[in-house]
Structure 1
Amino acid sequence: MSGIGPPEPGEGTRAWESRREEDAPAPLAARYARRRRIAAALAAAAVLLSGGGYLYATRPQQPTAHARRPYPQVPYPAQVVDLTYLDARPAPAGAPPHSFSFAVLVSVASGPPVTVTRVIQPYAGLSVTTDPPAPFRIRVDSARKITITMHVTECGKAPRNAGLPFLDVTLRNTRAIQEQSFIPGPHYAQDLSHALEVACSNRNR
């Protein structure tokens, strides 16, 4: 016998039948199953890729160095202004008869400067002026002494015994204009009642 390699099995033998089965194409169902596995793997890869893109698109954005920071909001003037009563004083020279004066301290705690545009009181029988005259400005972290002079115009409309009298002050800053009622306290009430009693007693003479 000549040639190289083992002899080929003859047709019809058991070895020939076994080799024919090995070389035969895979059944159709097996090929479909293999294709389904490949398709599932590709779909899973697509889901992973799309999920990664969504996470990247929705990731928290870090503020840039050039991002503008919000400025702190300016407070309302009534929130930062305080009025403190000091004492009673003689009416200034040149004031009309039946006038009397008080000294108060007006301060601004924070924010921009505040302008006092008006100072009034609730009684119809009294008129009010201030020194310095309104409007005047008060800077932050500072206090300004104000002299309030009242003139009795009609004793019948002025209280002889003021309980808790107040002063209405109109305030303005860069945020708003507000009218704030300040109650200077019991010492102011006592001094006001005494001054009214003296002024109206002299007026009736």
Structure 2
Amino acid sequence: MSRVGPVEPGEGTHVRDAPPAPRPRRGPRAPYLGRHRRAVTGALLAVAVLAGGGSLYLTRPRSEPPPAPPYPSQVTAVAYLYPQAADVNTAPRGFTFAVGVTAEFGPPVTVVAISQPYAGLSVTSSPRTPFRTKPGSPRKITLTLRVTECGKVPRNAGLPFLDVTLRNTRAMETHSFILGPSYARDLSRALQVACSNDSR
């Protein structure tokens, strides 16, 4: 039986050494990245943390916005207080009375204008409009209604009201306030006295 063993070099021959494998070339940035690996790694971590924090911030549960303030007419009360004696020289054919204006809660309310429905009457206020009322602090206002034309005022004011324009941070609106039977009675009496010498 013959055996074949490993081939051995013959006389005058020798095994060639394999050339060394070429070293991989580094790109132009490789030395930079190698030298600054910690700084680059730190910067990448910082970017990742910021991206994660931003994602958490954007996906956080939203808190409910604060409720809108009420409309001014919903929180303002105007009440008839009493008639006042008027100087006939300063308010001829006039009726002067006091009302209380109260903003019950919410932001301050500004009284922008006060008017009334009868074409034959004019109305002025003291203090003059516009003026502000603070929540919970009643403010006394003196109003003078002056007869400008008797033919355009009723002899008996059955359900008289005042139109009051109010403004707060929510809105501006005009609301009609009915001042009750005492105001109706006193106003009717004043109109009858003011127009008693006029014929219709």
TM-score between the two structures when normalised by the length of structure 1? 0.65
Partner of 1:76: 71
CA change 1:138–1:94 in 2 (3 A) is farther
Aligned with residue 100 of structure 2, among 105, 108, 112? 105
Alignment RMSD: 1.8
Count of residues paired in the alignment: 141
Counterpart of 1:148? 143
Please name the residue that 2:179 is paired with.
184
Alpha-carbon contact 1:87-1:104 (below 8 Å) kept: yes
Match of 2:169?
174
In 2, distance between residues paired with 1:114 and 1:93?
A: 33
In the alignment, which residue of structure 1 is the partner of 2:86? 91
1:152-201 deviations in Å (ceiling 9; x for gaps): 00111011101000000000001100000000000000000001011112
1:142 partner SS? coil
Runs of 4+ off more than 6 Å? none
For residues 101 and 87 of structure 2, what CA distance do their matches in structure 1 show?
20
Q: What is the CA distance between 1:93 and its match in structure 2?
A: 7.4
Q: Cα offset for 1:145?
A: 0.4
Task: Tell me how far apart the structure 2 counterparts of residues 135 and 182 of structure 1 sit (CA, whole Å).
Answer: 17
Structure 2: give runs of 5+ residues left out of the alignment: 1-58
Gap change, CA 1:92 and 1:81, over 3 Å in 2: farther
Q: Structure 1 residue 137 and structure 2 residue 129: aligned?
A: no
Using a 3 Å threshold, how does the CA distance of structure 1 residues 135 and 183 change in structure 2: closer, same or farther?
A: same
Q: TM-score, normalised by structure 2?
A: 0.66
Taking the aligned partners of 2:149 and 2:63, their CA distance within structure 1 comes to 59
Deviations 1:89-135 (A, max 9, x none): 12257623111211110000111000001000000000000011100
After TM superposition, list the pairs within 5 Å mapping 1:29-44 onto structure 2. none
Q: 1:94 to 1:115 in 2, by over 3 A?
A: farther
Secondary structure of 1:96's counterpart equals: coil
**Residue in structure 2 matched with residue 115 of structure 1 by the alignment:** 110
CA offsets 1:66-110 (integer angstroms, 9 cap, x no match): x54421211100100001111111225762311121111000011
Report the structure, 1 or 2, having the larger helix content. 1
Match of 2:159 among 150, 158, 164: 164
Larger displacement relative to structure 2 (86-95 or 116-125): 86-95
Separation in structure 2 between the aligned mates of residue 174 and residue 93 of structure 1, nearest angstrom: 40
Distance 1:162 1:97, change over 3 A: same
Give the SS at the match of 1:196. helix
User: Structure 1: where are the runs of 5+ without partners?
Assistant: 1-60
